[in-house]
Amino acid sequence: MMGPVPGPASFEVDARTPLRVATRSGSVKITGEDRQDVLVESGAHEVTRGDEGIEVTGRSGALVIHCPLHTDAFVGCASGVVTLQGPLGAVRVTTRSGSISIEQAHRVDARTASGNITVESCDEECRCQTKSGRLRVGRAGSGELVAASGRIEVDAIGAVRVRMGSGKVTIGLTEAAPVDVETHSGSVTLNVPTGLRPALELDTASGQVRCDCEPGSDGVIRVRTRSGSISVIER
């Protein structure tokens, strides 16, 4: 199906059919549900089914799409809010300006030039980048998190690499895994499981260092900041 879409469009699909969405401006909302079709409910200018999956193009306004559980979803948006709900597969979201919210995905790659990024749950690797905004992850297997300014907050994660220009970093670790945090300015707080004995490399040019852990060989924690405090706290 191609061309202007006057109303809802529905396609029967199998579980491996990816969803690709591109829009100039306006919000995008994709919901993974217990269903066997992709339903483009509103906001689409063109809808195409091809070798690359279901492709949806919008111009402006609100795009609303429903898809099967664990669908891989790829979204490109020039300007607007992107919201992904329900269990999805691998997701990739890129927007120049606007917030990104992802409820649950197998893997995540989310990037915005200006806006907040929120990921509630990611089974495997969670990669997020924002130049200006708050970056929050509830739970992830591992991660690579980059923010030029703002705040990075993670409740529970394994191996993680963080690069922050200016702002506060708070990370909750779930296991003995490599941790590498580098900031220009701002405090860094790492909450580690009680009894963990990591190898520690904590370096701040200007600020205090607090560490509750005894050094050992349970993973490696490296933190470097030019200006700001570093805290490694047992919880």
Domain identity same for 57 and 144: no
pTM of the full structure: 0.94
Domain identity same for 234 and 121: yes
What pLDDT score was predicted for residue 4? 52
- Judge whether 197 lies within some domain: yes
Domain identity same for 66 and 172: no
Domain identity same for 90 and 125: no
Contacts of 183 (CB under 8 A, 6+ apart): 162, 163, 164, 165, 166, 167, 169, 224, 225, 226, 228
Domain identity same for 132 and 82: no
Domain identity same for 133 and 60: no
pLDDT tens by residue, 33-56: 999 999 999 999 899 988 889 999
Q: Which residue has the higher pLDDT, 29 or 2?
A: 29
**Average confidence (pLDDT) over 124-141:** 96
- Judge whether 100 lies within some domain: no
pLDDT tens by residue, 201-211: 999 999 999 99
What pLDDT score was predicted for residue 115? 94
Q: Which residue has the higher pLDDT, 16 or 68?
A: 68
Domain identity same for 135 and 79: no
In this predicted structure, the answer to whether residue 2 has a pLDDT above a threshold of 80 is no
What pLDDT score was predicted for residue 16? 84
> Do the strands 230-234 and 188-192 form a parallel or antiparallel pair, or are they unpaired?
parallel
What pLDDT score was predicted for residue 10? 86
What pLDDT score was predicted for residue 136? 98
What pLDDT score was predicted for residue 145? 98
The total of structural domains in the chain comes to 2
Domain identity same for 34 and 85: yes
- Judge whether 37 lies within some domain: yes
Domain end, chosen from 48, 63, 94, is at 94
Asked if residue 77 lies in contact with residue 23, where contact means CB atoms within 8 angstroms, the answer is yes
Domain identity same for 85 and 143: no
What pLDDT score was predicted for residue 59? 85
- Judge whether 40 lies within some domain: yes
Asked if residue 116 lies in contact with residue 135, where contact means CB atoms within 8 angstroms, the answer is yes
pLDDT tens by residue, 173-223: 999 999 999 999 999 999 999 999 999 999 999 999 999 988 899 999 999
Domain identity same for 79 and 126: no
What pLDDT score was predicted for residue 119? 98
What the block records as the tokens of 86 is: 């329900």
The Cα–Cα gap between 1 and 78 comes to 24
- Judge whether 99 lies within some domain: no
Domain identity same for 120 and 90: no
pLDDT tens by residue, 117-127: 999 999 999 99
Domain carrying residue 183? 116-235
- Judge whether 107 lies within some domain: no
Considering the chain, what percentage of its residues have pLDDT values greater than 90?
Answer: 86
In this predicted structure, the answer to whether residue 7 has a pLDDT above a threshold of 70 is no
Average pLDDT, the chain: 93
- Judge whether 191 lies within some domain: yes
Domain identity same for 41 and 124: no
What pLDDT score was predicted for residue 3? 46
